[in-house]
Amino acid sequence: MTRFEQRIKARLDNIRALGLARNLLELGISGEGRVVYQGREYLNCAGNDYLGLAADPKLVAQFYDQLDEKTLLSRFGPGSTGSRLMTGNHGVNRELEEGLSRLYDPGRVLVFNSGYHANIGILPALAQRGDLILADKLCHASLIDGMRLSRAKVIRYPHMDYARLEALLAQHRKAYGQVFIVTESIFSMDGDTANLGRMVHLKEQFHAVLYVDEAHAVGLRGRHGLGLAEEQGMLEAVDLLVGTFGKAWAGQGAFVVCSQVLRKYLLNTARSFIFTTGLPPVSLSWLLFVMKKIPQMTRQRRHIRQLADSLRKGLLREGLETGGNSHIMPVLIGAADRAVQVAETLRKRGFWITAVRPPTVPAGTARLRLSLTAAMKEEDLASLPRLLADAIMDMQA
Protein backbone atom coordinates (compact mmCIF):
# COMPACT_ATOMS: atom_id res chain seq x y z
CA MET A 1 0.00 0.00 0.00
CA THR A 2 1.45 3.38 -0.98
CA ARG A 3 1.76 6.26 1.48
CA PHE A 4 -1.07 8.01 -0.39
CA GLU A 5 -3.32 4.94 -0.03
CA GLN A 6 -2.45 4.70 3.65
CA ARG A 7 -3.62 8.28 4.15
CA ILE A 8 -6.86 7.54 2.32
CA LYS A 9 -7.36 4.33 4.32
CA ALA A 10 -7.01 6.33 7.55
CA ARG A 11 -9.75 8.67 6.35
CA LEU A 12 -11.91 5.68 5.42
CA ASP A 13 -11.34 4.12 8.85
CA ASN A 14 -12.53 7.36 10.43
CA ILE A 15 -15.67 7.30 8.30
CA ARG A 16 -16.37 3.76 9.51
CA ALA A 17 -15.72 4.71 13.14
CA LEU A 18 -18.30 7.50 12.89
CA GLY A 19 -20.92 5.08 11.55
CA LEU A 20 -20.97 6.85 8.17
CA ALA A 21 -19.62 4.11 5.88
CA ARG A 22 -21.67 3.37 2.78
CA ASN A 23 -21.82 0.32 0.52
CA LEU A 24 -23.47 -0.62 -2.76
CA LEU A 25 -26.23 -3.23 -2.44
CA GLU A 26 -27.60 -5.02 -5.49
CA LEU A 27 -31.41 -4.86 -5.54
CA GLY A 28 -34.00 -6.31 -7.89
CA ILE A 29 -37.40 -4.80 -8.72
CA SER A 30 -40.28 -7.06 -7.89
CA GLY A 31 -43.26 -4.77 -8.58
CA GLU A 32 -46.04 -3.38 -6.36
CA GLY A 33 -43.63 -1.16 -4.46
CA ARG A 34 -41.26 -3.96 -3.55
CA VAL A 35 -37.60 -4.80 -4.06
CA VAL A 36 -35.65 -8.05 -3.80
CA TYR A 37 -32.34 -8.41 -1.97
CA GLN A 38 -30.51 -11.73 -1.69
CA GLY A 39 -33.66 -13.66 -2.56
CA ARG A 40 -35.96 -11.93 -0.06
CA GLU A 41 -38.72 -9.45 -0.90
CA TYR A 42 -39.11 -6.13 0.95
CA LEU A 43 -41.57 -3.24 0.85
CA ASN A 44 -39.50 -0.43 -0.64
CA CYS A 45 -39.79 2.55 1.72
CA ALA A 46 -36.57 4.16 0.52
CA GLY A 47 -37.07 4.67 -3.21
CA ASN A 48 -38.31 7.55 -5.34
CA ASP A 49 -40.59 5.69 -7.79
CA TYR A 50 -43.40 7.79 -6.38
CA LEU A 51 -46.08 7.00 -8.98
CA GLY A 52 -45.06 3.35 -9.23
CA LEU A 53 -44.28 3.61 -12.95
CA ALA A 54 -40.88 1.92 -12.94
CA ALA A 55 -42.28 -1.13 -11.16
CA ASP A 56 -45.37 -1.51 -13.36
CA PRO A 57 -44.64 -4.44 -15.70
CA LYS A 58 -47.75 -3.82 -17.82
CA LEU A 59 -46.77 -0.20 -18.41
CA VAL A 60 -43.17 -1.12 -19.29
CA ALA A 61 -44.42 -3.81 -21.68
CA GLN A 62 -46.79 -1.30 -23.28
CA PHE A 63 -43.84 1.03 -23.84
CA TYR A 64 -41.75 -1.63 -25.56
CA ASP A 65 -44.72 -2.78 -27.65
CA GLN A 66 -44.07 0.38 -29.70
CA LEU A 67 -40.73 -1.05 -30.82
CA ASP A 68 -40.45 -1.71 -34.56
CA GLU A 69 -37.74 -1.53 -37.21
CA LYS A 70 -38.81 1.93 -38.36
CA THR A 71 -38.24 3.48 -34.94
CA LEU A 72 -35.50 1.15 -33.68
CA LEU A 73 -32.66 3.67 -33.83
CA SER A 74 -34.49 7.00 -33.84
CA ARG A 75 -36.63 6.27 -30.76
CA PHE A 76 -35.07 3.25 -29.05
CA GLY A 77 -31.40 3.78 -29.75
CA PRO A 78 -29.13 2.95 -26.78
CA GLY A 79 -26.98 6.08 -27.07
CA SER A 80 -27.05 9.58 -28.54
CA THR A 81 -23.26 9.33 -29.21
CA GLY A 82 -22.57 13.03 -28.78
CA SER A 83 -23.38 16.25 -26.94
CA ARG A 84 -26.60 17.93 -27.96
CA LEU A 85 -24.64 20.79 -29.52
CA MET A 86 -22.70 18.35 -31.71
CA THR A 87 -24.50 15.21 -32.96
CA GLY A 88 -26.58 14.17 -29.93
CA ASN A 89 -29.71 16.26 -30.52
CA HIS A 90 -32.55 14.27 -32.12
CA GLY A 91 -36.24 14.65 -32.86
CA VAL A 92 -37.19 13.09 -29.54
CA ASN A 93 -35.33 15.89 -27.73
CA ARG A 94 -37.44 18.50 -29.50
CA GLU A 95 -40.69 16.56 -28.96
CA LEU A 96 -40.04 16.26 -25.24
CA GLU A 97 -39.09 19.91 -24.71
CA GLU A 98 -42.00 21.17 -26.79
CA GLY A 99 -44.43 18.88 -24.94
CA LEU A 100 -43.18 20.06 -21.56
CA SER A 101 -43.34 23.68 -22.72
CA ARG A 102 -47.02 23.20 -23.57
CA LEU A 103 -47.66 21.73 -20.11
CA TYR A 104 -45.82 24.56 -18.35
CA ASP A 105 -47.10 27.31 -20.67
CA PRO A 106 -45.92 30.07 -20.97
CA GLY A 107 -42.47 28.78 -19.98
CA ARG A 108 -39.86 27.24 -22.23
CA VAL A 109 -38.01 24.03 -21.32
CA LEU A 110 -34.42 22.84 -21.58
CA VAL A 111 -33.64 19.21 -20.73
CA PHE A 112 -30.49 18.24 -18.79
CA ASN A 113 -29.02 14.78 -18.21
CA SER A 114 -29.93 14.73 -14.50
CA GLY A 115 -31.07 16.95 -11.67
CA TYR A 116 -27.45 17.13 -10.57
CA HIS A 117 -26.41 18.34 -14.04
CA ALA A 118 -29.13 20.99 -13.93
CA ASN A 119 -28.28 22.33 -10.49
CA ILE A 120 -24.51 22.45 -11.01
CA GLY A 121 -24.98 24.11 -14.41
CA ILE A 122 -27.71 26.71 -14.08
CA LEU A 123 -26.53 28.75 -11.09
CA PRO A 124 -22.87 28.98 -12.22
CA ALA A 125 -24.07 30.14 -15.65
CA LEU A 126 -26.38 32.84 -14.30
CA ALA A 127 -24.93 34.02 -10.99
CA GLN A 128 -21.87 36.17 -11.58
CA ARG A 129 -19.30 37.91 -9.40
CA GLY A 130 -21.09 40.80 -7.71
CA ASP A 131 -24.34 38.80 -7.40
CA LEU A 132 -25.85 37.25 -4.26
CA ILE A 133 -27.51 33.86 -3.73
CA LEU A 134 -29.85 33.46 -0.73
CA ALA A 135 -30.57 29.77 -0.24
CA ASP A 136 -32.57 27.74 2.25
CA LYS A 137 -30.14 26.03 4.62
CA LEU A 138 -31.62 22.58 3.86
CA CYS A 139 -31.24 22.77 0.08
CA HIS A 140 -30.03 19.55 -1.52
CA ALA A 141 -26.34 18.81 -2.13
CA SER A 142 -26.59 19.42 -5.88
CA LEU A 143 -27.85 22.96 -5.26
CA ILE A 144 -25.06 23.52 -2.74
CA ASP A 145 -22.49 22.37 -5.30
CA GLY A 146 -24.02 24.65 -7.94
CA MET A 147 -23.74 27.59 -5.56
CA ARG A 148 -20.12 26.73 -4.81
CA LEU A 149 -19.32 26.66 -8.52
CA SER A 150 -20.85 30.07 -9.08
CA ARG A 151 -18.86 33.25 -8.51
CA ALA A 152 -21.64 34.83 -6.47
CA LYS A 153 -21.70 35.50 -2.74
CA VAL A 154 -23.79 32.83 -0.95
CA ILE A 155 -25.79 33.22 2.27
CA ARG A 156 -27.90 30.32 3.54
CA TYR A 157 -30.88 31.41 5.62
CA PRO A 158 -32.50 29.23 8.36
CA HIS A 159 -34.86 26.62 6.97
CA MET A 160 -38.10 28.20 5.71
CA ASP A 161 -37.48 31.31 7.85
CA TYR A 162 -39.01 33.85 5.51
CA ALA A 163 -38.74 36.69 8.02
CA ARG A 164 -34.98 36.11 8.04
CA LEU A 165 -34.95 35.91 4.24
CA GLU A 166 -36.76 39.25 4.05
CA ALA A 167 -34.30 40.80 6.51
CA LEU A 168 -31.35 39.57 4.41
CA LEU A 169 -32.92 41.00 1.26
CA ALA A 170 -33.49 44.35 2.95
CA GLN A 171 -29.92 44.37 4.25
CA HIS A 172 -28.05 43.24 1.13
CA ARG A 173 -30.14 43.88 -1.99
CA LYS A 174 -28.70 47.27 -2.91
CA ALA A 175 -25.12 46.01 -2.64
CA TYR A 176 -25.49 43.34 -5.36
CA GLY A 177 -26.24 43.46 -9.05
CA GLN A 178 -28.63 40.49 -8.95
CA VAL A 179 -30.04 38.42 -6.12
CA PHE A 180 -31.17 34.80 -6.52
CA ILE A 181 -33.52 33.14 -4.01
CA VAL A 182 -33.00 29.36 -4.07
CA THR A 183 -35.25 26.73 -2.49
CA GLU A 184 -36.61 23.24 -2.87
CA SER A 185 -40.39 22.96 -3.06
CA ILE A 186 -40.66 19.66 -1.16
CA PHE A 187 -37.51 19.25 0.89
CA SER A 188 -35.98 15.88 0.16
CA MET A 189 -34.95 14.91 3.69
CA ASP A 190 -37.64 16.62 5.79
CA GLY A 191 -40.70 16.23 3.55
CA ASP A 192 -41.99 19.74 4.32
CA THR A 193 -43.13 22.24 1.70
CA ALA A 194 -42.04 25.77 0.90
CA ASN A 195 -44.43 28.73 0.94
CA LEU A 196 -43.88 29.76 -2.66
CA GLY A 197 -46.45 32.56 -2.48
CA ARG A 198 -44.43 34.27 0.27
CA MET A 199 -41.22 33.80 -1.72
CA VAL A 200 -42.77 35.20 -4.89
CA HIS A 201 -43.86 38.27 -2.94
CA LEU A 202 -40.32 38.77 -1.66
CA LYS A 203 -38.68 38.25 -5.04
CA GLU A 204 -41.02 40.81 -6.61
CA GLN A 205 -40.55 43.30 -3.77
CA PHE A 206 -36.76 43.12 -4.01
CA HIS A 207 -36.44 42.44 -7.77
CA ALA A 208 -34.84 39.05 -7.20
CA VAL A 209 -34.83 35.84 -9.26
CA LEU A 210 -36.64 32.83 -7.78
CA TYR A 211 -35.11 29.37 -8.38
CA VAL A 212 -37.27 26.42 -7.24
CA ASP A 213 -36.13 22.79 -7.33
CA GLU A 214 -39.31 20.68 -7.71
CA ALA A 215 -37.50 17.32 -7.82
CA HIS A 216 -39.75 15.66 -5.23
CA ALA A 217 -42.98 17.43 -6.23
CA VAL A 218 -43.12 16.93 -10.01
CA GLY A 219 -45.66 14.24 -10.81
CA LEU A 220 -47.17 14.34 -7.32
CA ARG A 221 -48.44 17.83 -6.63
CA GLY A 222 -50.77 20.08 -8.57
CA ARG A 223 -53.83 19.26 -10.62
CA HIS A 224 -51.73 17.99 -13.54
CA GLY A 225 -48.73 16.82 -11.54
CA LEU A 226 -46.62 19.84 -12.50
CA GLY A 227 -45.43 20.38 -8.93
CA LEU A 228 -45.97 22.51 -5.87
CA ALA A 229 -45.83 25.72 -7.92
CA GLU A 230 -48.91 24.53 -9.81
CA GLU A 231 -50.65 23.54 -6.59
CA GLN A 232 -49.98 26.94 -5.01
CA GLY A 233 -50.85 28.87 -8.18
CA MET A 234 -47.31 30.19 -8.64
CA LEU A 235 -46.22 28.57 -11.91
CA GLU A 236 -45.95 31.79 -13.90
CA ALA A 237 -44.15 33.62 -11.07
CA VAL A 238 -41.23 31.18 -10.66
CA ASP A 239 -38.29 32.32 -12.80
CA LEU A 240 -36.41 29.00 -12.85
CA LEU A 241 -38.32 25.79 -12.07
CA VAL A 242 -36.26 22.60 -12.08
CA GLY A 243 -37.89 19.17 -12.22
CA THR A 244 -36.38 15.71 -12.49
CA PHE A 245 -37.37 12.64 -14.47
CA GLY A 246 -35.59 10.18 -12.18
CA LYS A 247 -38.24 10.08 -9.47
CA ALA A 248 -42.00 10.19 -10.17
CA TRP A 249 -41.35 10.01 -13.93
CA ALA A 250 -39.32 6.79 -13.42
CA GLY A 251 -36.83 7.79 -16.07
CA GLN A 252 -33.59 9.66 -16.53
CA GLY A 253 -32.78 13.36 -16.80
CA ALA A 254 -34.13 16.69 -15.63
CA PHE A 255 -35.52 19.93 -17.02
CA VAL A 256 -35.69 23.63 -16.30
CA VAL A 257 -38.72 25.79 -17.08
CA CYS A 258 -37.78 29.40 -17.72
CA SER A 259 -38.21 32.24 -20.21
CA GLN A 260 -37.09 31.90 -23.80
CA VAL A 261 -34.16 34.26 -23.27
CA LEU A 262 -32.96 32.32 -20.21
CA ARG A 263 -33.27 29.03 -22.09
CA LYS A 264 -31.18 30.34 -24.96
CA TYR A 265 -28.57 31.71 -22.57
CA LEU A 266 -28.31 28.44 -20.62
CA LEU A 267 -27.98 26.47 -23.85
CA ASN A 268 -24.92 28.59 -24.61
CA THR A 269 -23.36 28.84 -21.15
CA ALA A 270 -24.34 25.95 -18.82
CA ARG A 271 -21.23 23.78 -18.84
CA SER A 272 -23.04 20.67 -17.56
CA PHE A 273 -25.33 20.93 -20.59
CA ILE A 274 -22.70 21.78 -23.21
CA PHE A 275 -19.93 19.36 -22.30
CA THR A 276 -21.77 16.07 -21.85
CA THR A 277 -23.24 13.40 -24.10
CA GLY A 278 -26.98 13.80 -24.63
CA LEU A 279 -29.55 11.40 -23.22
CA PRO A 280 -30.12 8.24 -25.31
CA PRO A 281 -33.21 8.17 -27.54
CA VAL A 282 -34.69 5.23 -25.62
CA SER A 283 -34.66 7.27 -22.39
CA LEU A 284 -36.26 10.28 -24.09
CA SER A 285 -38.90 8.06 -25.68
CA TRP A 286 -39.88 6.70 -22.25
CA LEU A 287 -40.30 10.28 -21.02
CA LEU A 288 -42.51 11.13 -24.00
CA PHE A 289 -44.53 8.00 -23.25
CA VAL A 290 -45.18 8.80 -19.58
CA MET A 291 -45.61 12.55 -20.20
CA LYS A 292 -48.99 11.75 -21.75
CA LYS A 293 -50.05 9.76 -18.70
CA ILE A 294 -48.83 11.72 -15.67
CA PRO A 295 -51.24 14.69 -16.00
CA GLN A 296 -54.13 12.18 -15.84
CA MET A 297 -52.89 10.32 -12.74
CA THR A 298 -55.16 12.11 -10.28
CA ARG A 299 -56.16 8.87 -8.57
CA GLN A 300 -52.55 7.93 -7.84
CA ARG A 301 -51.78 11.39 -6.43
CA ARG A 302 -54.84 11.20 -4.18
CA HIS A 303 -53.87 7.69 -3.04
CA ILE A 304 -50.37 8.82 -2.03
CA ARG A 305 -51.80 11.71 0.01
CA GLN A 306 -54.11 9.29 1.81
CA LEU A 307 -51.24 6.87 2.51
CA ALA A 308 -49.08 9.71 3.83
CA ASP A 309 -51.82 11.08 6.10
CA SER A 310 -52.47 7.63 7.56
CA LEU A 311 -48.80 6.76 8.12
CA ARG A 312 -47.95 10.16 9.64
CA LYS A 313 -50.82 9.81 12.12
CA GLY A 314 -49.60 6.32 13.01
CA LEU A 315 -46.05 7.56 13.63
CA LEU A 316 -47.27 10.40 15.85
CA ARG A 317 -49.58 8.04 17.70
CA GLU A 318 -46.54 5.93 18.62
CA GLY A 319 -44.74 9.02 19.92
CA LEU A 320 -42.16 9.08 17.12
CA GLU A 321 -40.50 12.33 16.08
CA THR A 322 -41.49 13.05 12.50
CA GLY A 323 -42.54 16.00 10.37
CA GLY A 324 -43.36 17.26 6.92
CA ASN A 325 -46.62 17.36 5.01
CA SER A 326 -45.83 15.28 1.94
CA HIS A 327 -45.17 11.70 0.86
CA ILE A 328 -41.71 11.93 2.47
CA MET A 329 -41.58 11.32 6.23
CA PRO A 330 -38.45 11.55 8.35
CA VAL A 331 -38.22 9.59 11.59
CA LEU A 332 -35.49 11.33 13.58
CA ILE A 333 -33.02 9.11 15.44
CA GLY A 334 -30.04 11.38 16.12
CA ALA A 335 -26.84 9.32 16.14
CA ALA A 336 -25.77 7.84 12.80
CA ASP A 337 -24.89 4.38 14.15
CA ARG A 338 -28.25 4.10 15.91
CA ALA A 339 -30.10 5.05 12.73
CA VAL A 340 -28.27 2.26 10.92
CA GLN A 341 -29.21 -0.25 13.64
CA VAL A 342 -32.89 0.68 13.53
CA ALA A 343 -32.93 0.43 9.73
CA GLU A 344 -31.37 -3.05 9.90
CA THR A 345 -34.00 -4.13 12.43
CA LEU A 346 -36.81 -2.95 10.16
CA ARG A 347 -35.30 -4.83 7.21
CA LYS A 348 -35.52 -8.03 9.20
CA ARG A 349 -39.26 -7.35 9.38
CA GLY A 350 -39.60 -6.91 5.63
CA PHE A 351 -39.28 -3.13 5.21
CA TRP A 352 -36.50 -1.79 3.00
CA ILE A 353 -35.54 1.35 4.91
CA THR A 354 -32.21 3.16 4.81
CA ALA A 355 -30.55 5.43 7.35
CA VAL A 356 -29.85 8.95 6.16
CA ARG A 357 -26.67 10.23 7.80
CA PRO A 358 -24.29 13.18 7.61
CA PRO A 359 -23.24 14.80 5.37
CA THR A 360 -26.63 14.31 3.70
CA VAL A 361 -28.25 15.76 6.85
CA PRO A 362 -26.71 17.90 9.62
CA ALA A 363 -24.69 16.15 12.35
CA GLY A 364 -26.87 14.77 15.13
CA THR A 365 -29.98 14.53 12.93
CA ALA A 366 -29.53 11.07 11.37
CA ARG A 367 -32.91 9.66 10.45
CA LEU A 368 -34.92 7.10 8.61
CA ARG A 369 -36.44 8.59 5.47
CA LEU A 370 -39.76 6.94 4.60
CA SER A 371 -40.98 7.64 1.08
CA LEU A 372 -44.30 6.39 -0.22
CA THR A 373 -45.40 5.33 -3.68
CA ALA A 374 -48.71 4.84 -5.42
CA ALA A 375 -47.93 1.11 -5.70
CA MET A 376 -48.31 0.65 -1.93
CA LYS A 377 -51.45 -0.28 -0.05
CA GLU A 378 -52.49 0.99 3.35
CA GLU A 379 -52.31 -2.50 4.81
CA ASP A 380 -48.67 -2.76 3.66
CA LEU A 381 -47.79 0.07 6.05
CA ALA A 382 -50.16 -0.66 8.93
CA SER A 383 -47.60 -2.40 11.15
CA LEU A 384 -44.70 -0.03 10.44
CA PRO A 385 -45.26 2.63 13.16
CA ARG A 386 -45.40 0.04 15.95
CA LEU A 387 -42.37 -1.83 14.59
CA LEU A 388 -40.42 1.43 14.38
CA ALA A 389 -41.30 2.40 17.93
CA ASP A 390 -40.29 -1.04 19.22
CA ALA A 391 -37.00 -0.97 17.33
CA ILE A 392 -36.08 2.44 18.71
CA MET A 393 -37.09 1.44 22.24
CA ASP A 394 -35.05 -1.77 22.11
CA MET A 395 -32.02 0.15 20.92
CA GLN A 396 -32.28 2.64 23.77
CA ALA A 397 -32.77 -0.06 26.43
pLDDT at 210: 98
Q: Closest by alpha carbon to 276, among 113, 143, 153, 394?
A: 113
Q: Which residues pair with 110 in a beta bridge?
A: 256
What DSSP letter does each residue of 38-83 carry, written as one string? TTEEEEE-S---TTS-TT-HHHHHHHHTT--GGGHHHHH-S---SB
pLDDT at 394: 84
pLDDT at 30: 85
- With beta carbons less than 8 A apart as the criterion, state whether 318 and 389 touch: yes
The set of catalytic residues is: 48, 140, 184, 188, 213, 216, 247
Tell me how far apart the alpha carbons of residues 122 and 254 are, in angstroms, rounded to a whole number: 12
Q: Where in the chain is the domain with CATH 3.40.640.10?
A: 69-295
Return the number of other C-beta atoms located less than 10 Å from residue 298's C-beta. 11
CATH number of 69-295: 3.40.640.10
Q: Hey, is 371 helix, strand or coil?
A: strand
Q: Closest by alpha carbon to 324, among 192, 219, 150?
A: 192
Q: Where in the chain is the domain with CATH 3.90.1150.10?
A: 19-51+298-396
- With beta carbons less than 8 A apart as the criterion, state whether 28 and 34 touch: no
Question: In CATH, which superfamily holds the domain spanning 19-51+298-396?
Answer: Aspartate Aminotransferase, domain 1 (3.90.1150.10)
The model's pTM is 0.96
Q: Which residues pair with 328 in a beta bridge?
A: 371
Q: Which amino acid, residue 183?
A: T
- With beta carbons less than 8 A apart as the criterion, state whether 306 and 338 touch: no
pLDDT along the chain (397 residues), means of 10: 96 92 91 92 96 94 92 92 96 97 96 98 98 97 97 98 98 98 97 98 98 98 98 98 98 98 98 98 98 98 97 96 95 93 96 93 93 96 96 82
CB neighbour burial string for 215-237, b if at least 16 within 10 angstroms, e if fewer = bbbbbbbbebbbbbbbbbebbeb
pLDDT at 31: 81
pLDDT at 325: 95
Tell me how far apart the alpha carbons of residues 69 and 75 are, in angstroms, rounded to a whole number: 10
